[in-house]
Amino acid sequence: MSVPPESVIPPSPNEPMAGAPSAEERQWAMFAHLSALAGAILTGAFGGGWGCFIGPLVIWLVKRDTMPFVADQGKEALNFNITVAIAFVVLALLSVMTLGIGLIIAIPLWVIIGVAWLVLTIIAAVKANEGTLYRYPFTLRLIK
């Protein structure tokens, strides 16, 4: 008995992959997400937290050819952190262009985006460690 192709439901992005990733792949994928936290903490005092996308970029570049799960999650972490950086830059430009009046909007949004970034990064790391593909919400998919 065959199943018609239109009745086959594709897997959702938040489900485990068909070929379950190995423990090493899950660990590297988790590191791809957590390296954003480490980079932001290490560069936070002196560089404004711009190191948040360096860790995911390095892990993605090193592991993309050998570990498909790590490549996917590293790329996802990189896209998310670039999106967050763009949002912070836009808010900073708004503040400068309005001679500081934009800070009324920018400061609360920086806090909201920062808390969301922290929570979503931790959720992504946990999901990656479980071997589940995780997709960040509101992310520009700049790196395909």
Instruction: Identify the weakest region by mean pLDDT among 39-43, 57-61, 73-77, 116-120.
Output: 39-43
- pLDDT cut 90: percent of the chain above it: 54
> What pLDDT does 29 receive?
94
Q: What is the mean pLDDT of residues 31-42?
A: 89
Q: Mind listing the pLDDT tens digit for each residue in 93-116?
A: 999 999 989 899 999 999 999 899
Q: Read out DSSP for 30-74?
A: HHHHHHHHHHHHHHHHHHTTGGGGHHHHHHHHHHTTT-HHHHHHH
Query: What's the pLDDT score for residue 14?
Result: 55
Look at residue 8 in the predicted model and tell me its pLDDT.
47
